[in-house]
C-alpha cells in the first residue's frame, strides 16, 4: 500500500463473526466472491456455496443478459432479476448474498470490490464464454479477448496488491488443449527430448478466439503466480449440461438460465430443445468430435473442492474438470433414445473448423482424488433435461437454434432476415 493511503477497515456488515469459534469457522467457512455470479453457472455456484455456510458475494455486470438482447433470444427457463432472486434466496435460506455491480475491465471497481468484501477466495466465471459469439466478426473477437484478458489482469493486480493469499479459482476450458493425437494431461506434461526431461505447460491448440482468450489467461495467471506468489486453480472445464441444482430447485424464482440457441446453447441442452420442438437434432459434420462433459451439479462440487483444498502460495494448478467423454453423435443418440416422442438426427455442415474424427483421451483424476463423486450422464438425467425443456416449450424459437456463425467467415450475420421470415 502506498504512502498516505489508509488501511481498509473491514466493514462491520461484512465482518466474519469473532469469538471462540472463529478459528474453527475459518477452516470450514470462507469469504468467497463469485465473479459472473448472475450467469448460468455463477448463480447456482453462489447459491451452493452460500448454502454450504460460506459468506458469498456476487459480482456481475449483466452483460450476459445484454447478449440476449443483441441476439434477440432469451433463456428457455425464465430467470428473475439478480436483486430479486438474491432477496428470494435470503427468504428461503436465511443467508445473505452481497452484490457488487460492475465490470472487471474497470480496475477501480475491481480494487474497490476486493477492499469492501475482503474475500479469502474468488471464483472467476466472469468471462464471455461462447465460442460462436467470439467468431461472429472482428468486433466480437476483439471484445472477447480484451474483456476476458483485461478483466483477469485487473483481478490479479488487485489480488497481488491487496492480499496475495486470496485463492483464485478461475474457469478455463478443456478447449484450450484442442484435440492432439496424444493423451491430454492436467495442465502440464513431462517431455523427454534429446536426452533431457522437463515438465512443461501442456501445448495448447484452441479452436476459437474465445478458447484462445482462455489460453491467454492461463499463461498470464501462471506468470502472476510465479512473480507475485499468488495461488491459483485453473479449472479446465468440459461442456456442462443440466439446469437444476439442489439450491435452484428450492424456489422457481431461483432458476438459472438455460441456453439452447446456436450461439450460447451448449450441445446437450441444445439437442434436448430440438427434440422437444420436433426439429432434427443438428450434429455438426460427422459428429465424431469428442468432448469432456459434466453435470451442472458437478461444476458446483468441483468448485467447492478446489476452494476447500486451495493451491499453495505461488502455485498455478490446473484441474481438468469433466467426468465423462462422449462424441457429439453419441450425445445426439442418447437424446433420441430417451425422448418419448419421435426424434431424428440431421448431419449439417460443420460451421467450425475442427477435426470431426480424432483421438481423444484426457486425464481428469485430480478432482476425483479430492473426493468428487460424479453425476454420470444417465437416462434419468436426459429425461429430466427434456422435462425442463418441455415445461417451457412455448418459449423455444426454432430459428435461434441454427448455427449462424461460420468459422471460415470473417463476418457473420447473427440472424439473417431469411431466418426471421422462416421462423
Q: Which stretch binds its own copies (CB under 8 A): 125-133, 182-190, 290-298, 393-401?
A: 182-190
- CB of residue 111 to its own copies, shortest distance in Å: 9
- Residue 43 makes CB contacts below 8 A (sequence gap 6+) with 37, 58, 85, 248, 256, 257
CA nearest to 362, candidates 301, 283, 293, 307: 293
Determine the interface stretch with its own copies among 84-92, 115-123, 149-157, 338-346 (rule: CB under 8 A).
Answer: 149-157
Interface pick for its own copies out of 27, 69, 194, 373 (rule CB under 8 A): 194
Residues serving a catalytic function are 173, 210, 214
191 binds its own copies (CB under 8 A): yes
Which residue from 10, 72, 200, 420 is in contact with its own copies, where contact means CB under 8 A?
Answer: 200
Q: Rounded to the nearest whole angstrom, what is the least distance from the CB of residue 226 to its own copies in the complex?
A: 6
- Out of 28, 348, 353, 422, point to the residue binding its own copies (CB under 8 A): 353
Q: Which residues contact 399 (CB under 8 A, 6 or more apart)?
A: 415, 419, 420, 422, 423
Judge contact between 46 and 56, C-beta under 8 A.
yes
Q: How far is CA 183 from CA 179, 190, 233, 289, in A?
A: 9, 12, 21, 15
Q: Which of residues 287-346 bind its own copies (CB under 8 A)?
A: none
Q: Which residues contact 33 (CB under 8 A, 6 or more apart)?
A: 56, 57, 58, 59, 100, 113, 114, 117, 119, 121, 122, 123
Asked if 14 touches its own copies (CB under 8 A), the answer is no
**Grid cell in block for residue 150:** 483485461
Which of the residues 259 through 288 are near its own copies (CB under 8 A)? none
- What are the residues whose beta carbons fall under 8 Å from the beta carbon of 239, sequence distance 6 or more? 174, 266, 267, 268, 291, 292, 293, 294, 322
Q: Would you give the end-to-end CA distance of the chain in angstroms? A: 58
Segment lying near its own copies (by CB under 8 A), choices 11-19, 186-194, 366-374, 382-390: 186-194
Q: How far is the CB of 265 from its own copies (least distance, A)?
A: 22
43 near its own copies, judged by CB under 8 A: no
Distance CA 17, CA 10 (A): 12
Any idea how long the chain is?
423
Residue 216 or 279: the one with the smaller Cβ distance to its own copies is: 216
What contacts 2, CB < 8 A, 6 or more positions away? none
Angle (CA) 85 88 90, round 5°? 115
CB of 160 vs its own copies, minimal distance in Å: 5
Residue number, 32 or 232, with CB nearest to its own copies: 232
Using the minimum distance from each CB to its own copies, give the nearer residue, 136 or 372: 136
Size of the site for its own copies (CB under 8 A): 52
**Near its own copies by CB under 8 A: residue from 95, 99, 116, 180:** 180
Footprint on residues 97-136 left by its own copies (CB under 8 A): 107
Cα separation, 345 vs 325, in Å, equals 20
Cα→Cα distances 90→30, 278, 320, Å: 18, 39, 33
Segment interacting with its own copies (CB under 8 A) among 59-67, 71-79, 84-92, 143-151: 143-151
Residues 393-412 that bind its own copies (CB under 8 A): 407-408, 410-411
Interactions with its own copies, residue window 209-238 (CB under 8 A) = 209, 212, 215-216, 219-220, 222-223, 226-228
| Contact residues: its own copies, CB under 8 A | 2, 107, 138, 141-142, 145-146, 149-150, 153-154, 157, 160-161, 180-183, 189, 191-194, 196-198, 200-209, 212, 215-216, 219-220, 222-223, 226-228, 353, 359, 407-408, 410-411
Amino acid at each position: 500500500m502506498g504512502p498516505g493511503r489508509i488501511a481498509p477497515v473491514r466493514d462491520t456488515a461484512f465482518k466474519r463473526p469473532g469469538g471462540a469459534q472463529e478459528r474453527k469457522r475459518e477452516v470450514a467457512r470462507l469469504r468467497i466472491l463469485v465473479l459472473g455470479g448472475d450467469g448460468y453457472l455463477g448463480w447456482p455456484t453462489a447459491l451452493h456455496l452460500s448454502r454450504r455456510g460460506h459468506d458469498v458475494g456476487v459480482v456481475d455486470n449483466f452483460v450476459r443478459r445484454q447478449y440476449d438482447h443483441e441476439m434477440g433470444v432469451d433463456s428457455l427457463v425464465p430467470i428473475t432479476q439478480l436483486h430479486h432472486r438474491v432477496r428470494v434466496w435470503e427468504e428461503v435460506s436465511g443467508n445473505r448474498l452481497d452484490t457488487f455491480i460492475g465490470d472487471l475491465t474497470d480496475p477501480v471497481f475491481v480494487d474497490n470490490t476486493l477492499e469492501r468484501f475482503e474475500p479469502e477466495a474468488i471464483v472467476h466465471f466472469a468471462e464471455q464464454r461462447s465460442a460462436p459469439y467470439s467468431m461472429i466478426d472482428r468486433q466480437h473477437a476483439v471484445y472477447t479477448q480484451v474483456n476476458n484478458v483485461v478483466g483477469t489482469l485487473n483481478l490479479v493486480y488487485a489480488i497481488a496488491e491487496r492480499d496475495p493469499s486470496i485463492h483464485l479459482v478461475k474457469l478455463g476450458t478443456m478447449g484450450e488443449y484442442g484435440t492432439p493425437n496424444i493423451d491430454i494431461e492436467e495442465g502440464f506434461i513431462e517431455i523427454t527430448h534429446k536426452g533431457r526431461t522437463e515438465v512443461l505447460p501442456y501445448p495448447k491448440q484452441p479452436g476459437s478466439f474465445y478458447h484462445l482468450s482462455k489460453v491467454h489467461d492461463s499463461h498470464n495467471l501462471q506468470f502472476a503466480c510465479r512473480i507475485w506468489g499468488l495461488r491459483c486453480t485453473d479449472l479446465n472445464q468440459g461442456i456442462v449440461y443440466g439446469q437444476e441444482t439442489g439450491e435452484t430447485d428450492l424456489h422457481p424464482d431461483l432458476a438459472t438460465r438455460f441456453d439452447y440457441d446456436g450461439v450460447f446453447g451448449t450441445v446437450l441442452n441444445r439437442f434436448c430443445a430440438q427434440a422437444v420442438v420436433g426439429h432434427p437434432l443438428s450434429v455438426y459434420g460427422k459428429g465424431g468430435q469428442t468432448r469432456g462433459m459434466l453435470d451442472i451439479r458437478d461444476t458446483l462440487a468441483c468448485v467447492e473442492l478446489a476452494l476447500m483444498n486451495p493451491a499453495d502460495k505461488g502455485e498455478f494448478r490446473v484441474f481438468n474438470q469433466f467426468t465423462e467423454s462422449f462424441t457429439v453423435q453419441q450425445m445426439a443418440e442418447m437424446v433420441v433414445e430417451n425422448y418419448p416422442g419421435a426424434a431424428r438426427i440431421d448431419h449439417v455442415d460443420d460451421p467450425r473448423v475442427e477435426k470431426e474424427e480424432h483421438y481423444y483421451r484426457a486425464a481428469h483424476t485430480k478432482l476425483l482424488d479430492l473426493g468428487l463423486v460424479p453425476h454420470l450422464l444417465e437416462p434419468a438425467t436426459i429425461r429430466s433435461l427434456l422435462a425442463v425443456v418441455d415445461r417451457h416449450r412455448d418459449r423455444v424459437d426454432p430459428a435461434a437454434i441454427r448455427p449462424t456463425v461460420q468459422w471460415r467467415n470473417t463476418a457473420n450475420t447473427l440472424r439473417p432476415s431469411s431466418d426471421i421470415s422462416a421462423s
